[in-house]
Structure 1
Amino acid sequence: MKLDLSGKRVLVTASSSGIGKGVARAFLKEGCKVIISARNKDKVNEVVKKLRESISPSVWGLEMDLSDQGSLAKAVDGAYELMGGIDILVINSGNPPTEPSFFNETEMNDWRYSVEMFLFAPIFLVKKFIPKMRENHYGRIFFLSSWTVKSPQPHFTLADVSRSPLIQLTKILSKEEGRNGITVNTILMGSFRTPGAERSLKKIAERNGEPYESLWEREVISPIAVGRIGDQEKDLGSLLVFLSTDFGGYVTGSSILIDGGSSPYVL
């Protein structure tokens, strides 16, 4: 089986660290041209430099704030200037600054921020990039989400409510765009060690008055059937690479679970 993605143009959002960075590395290693993006321009430039030195020169960086449509518009213009379009769109996001939080701890501004980042930003980016995908009769769109949108967790109220509509959007877009060579899937992720995940768990541990290590073992490691957390590049990145090839062309409109067997739900 030959996975040939050489020359495909990839944009990964929120990719200066953690999950997004691991995914970007996976596509770079397959010969893709990759744009990474994040709010911190200096950090983006630093990561681009390291990736060029270690993997491939075919990587660029853009400043992008998913909660700010003006920033998104500038980044879209930048992507078109750099590459003339995007073939593979991977929409990753960080966490709202006030999360973890229970519903009664949230304010309306928290909800506005969360919906802008988790829902409006993906809609905006898809609308901007999908016309060129249609012209080329090829496109891959991935919404990176969490298994908790199907089994909501009270302390992740903002994220679970704000990004659950992407499952509906995935199904709608798959039906509209399938004959245009475009596939759309939501990826329901389990546990990956990232700076954002560690920050959230440390807040929960502090709130519970228990050591972070014991919370990590009980709530993260123990429920995982395979006995380990996921690897951003090897596990998640490889999945997206496969789905982006011709071998993945029949997979669309799906919510794909990648969690090491940890989630409690069936459907």
Structure 2
Amino acid sequence: MIDLSGKRALVAGGSRGIGAAIALALAENGADVAFTYQHSVEKARAVSGSIEATGRRALGIQADSADPGAIARAVDEAVSALGGLDILINSAAIAYYGTVADLDLDAYQKLMDVNVRAPMLFAKAAIPHLPDGGRIVTIGSGLGERVPFPGVTAYAVSKAALTSFTRGLSRELGPNGITVNLVQPGSTDTDANPADGPSADAQRSMTSLGRYAQPREIANAVVFLASPAASVITGAVLNVDAGALA
């Protein structure tokens, strides 16, 4: 077990899938956790209950990651409720499927607002509160590095941008003792991409291990990067993808 006792975390996009697994894993390792959600009220309540069952404090904050004002408010609420902030996890994201030839401009703009602008704005709002030893971990995608099939170009572009965000921000915050890292999951068994879905066999065939990851396996990597054990790791990209990018 990694000791995060006394740490206060905010997970942007923590009501379902990988984000929910991260929120719970942080709590199980000792952190108090606030998380944002947009529509999934019942799922947010379930995540809060799971966090509280570990003995840690939980706060679900309804906030649209496409709304800059909501992002700033969410950080303020988390800091007020938890008494500060040590860890920021950027997990909120949306998908866009379709070719560039058929690109819907409004959908593309929202994709970039949520997947690229929101991590920057969450970081901007959180930085004044993060102490020496603070952590920022962003969830990207293996598609940001390799695009093995058509129809996901716009999504891949949004995830590729997070590499430069991570590396640049690590330079900016290094003098403050704050680390900034990127986790790139591969195919992970979630509602959005279930392991029994129509393309699951094709996705499994591209991995070294021949299987999907479970959300908790992604969360384990995030918890490590959020912990004191990763004190000298910053500006790094960690692929947690069953070997899909090997």
Q: TM-score, normalised by structure 1?
A: 0.85
**1:232 aligns to 2:227 (yes or no):** no
Bigger shift: 183-192 or 52-61? 52-61
Secondary structure, aligned partner of 1:143: strand
Separation of aligned partners in 1, 2:227 and 2:85:
15
Give 2:153's aligned amino acid. T
Q: Is 1:130 paired with 2:113?
A: no
Give secondary structure in 2 for the equivalent of 1:85.
coil
Does 1:63 pair with 2:62? yes
More helix by share: 1
CA distance in 1, matches of 2:146, 2:60: 35
Q: Which residue of 1 aligns with 2:143?
A: 148
Contact 2:224–2:230 under 8 Å retained in 1: yes
Q: Give the superposition deviation at 1:50.
A: 2.8
Q: CA RMSD in A?
A: 2.1
Matched, 1:216 2:185: no
* Counterpart Cα distance in 2 of 1:160 and 1:12: 22
Tell me, in whole angstroms, the C-alpha distance in 2 between the residues paired with 1:157 and 1:188.
16
Q: Deviations over 1:43-83 (max 9, x none)?
A: 35422443146433411110021112222222122112212
After TM superposition, the structure 1 stretch with the greater mean CA deviation from structure 2, 35-44 or 245-254, is: 35-44
- Stretch deviating more after TM superposition (115-124 or 42-51): 42-51
Residue 95 of structure 1 is matched in structure 2 by: 94
1:155 positional shift: 1.4
Question: What CA distance in whole angstroms lies between the structure 2 residues aligned with 1:189 and 1:115?
Answer: 19
- The structure-2 alpha-carbon separation of the partners of 1:7 and 1:44, relative to structure 1 and needing over 3 Å to count, comes to farther
**Structure 1 equivalent of residue 173 of structure 2:** 177
Higher Cα Rg, which structure = 1
1:241 to 219, 223, 238: 223
Structure 1 unmatched ranges of 5 or more? 203-211
The answer for the alignment partner of 1:205 in structure 2 is none
Tell me the distance in 1 between the aligned counterparts of 2:145 and 2:40: 34
1:161 to 154, 157, 174: 157
Q: Name the CA shift for 1:45/1:20 in 2 (closer, same or farther; >3 Å).
A: closer
Cα shift at 1:196 = 1.7
- 1:126-165 per-position Cα deviation (integer Å, ceiling 9, x unaligned): 01111221xx212111110111111135311222112322
Closer/same/farther in 2, CA of residues 125 and 109 from structure 1, 3 Å limit: same
2:193 is paired with a residue whose SS is helix
Give 1:172 deviation, angstroms.
1.2
SS in 1 for 2:192: helix
> Structure 2 length normalisation: TM-score?
0.91
The answer (yes or no) to whether the contact 2:13–2:35 under 8 Å persists in 1 is: yes
Asked whether the equivalents of residues 51 and 57 of structure 1 are also in contact (C-alpha less than 8 Å), the reply is: no
How big is the shift at 1:31?
A: 0.9
Cα deviation per residue 1:157-203 (whole Å; 9 max; x = unaligned)?
Answer: 2221123222112111112212311110111111111112249x96x
Q: Is the 8 A contact 1:11 1:34 kept in 2?
A: yes
The partner residue of 1:191 within 166, 180, 187 is: 187
Q: Is the 8 A contact 2:92 2:114 kept in 1?
A: yes
Identity, in percent, stands at: 29
Moved more, 161-170 or 250-259: 161-170
* Letter of the 1:132 counterpart: H
User: Does structure 1 conserve the Cα–Cα contact (< 8 Å) formed by 2:27 and 2:56?
Assistant: no
Q: How many residues were matched structurally?
A: 245
One-letter code of the match for 1:116? Answer: D
**147-156 vs 109-118, which deviates more?**
147-156
State the shift of 1:41 in Å.
5.8
Is the contact made by 1:38 and 1:62 (CA closer than 8 Å) also made in structure 2?
yes
User: Which amino acid in 1 is paired with 2:219?
Assistant: G
Distance 2:238 2:218 in 1: 11
- SS across alignment from 1:93: coil
Residue 245 (structure 2) aligns with: 263
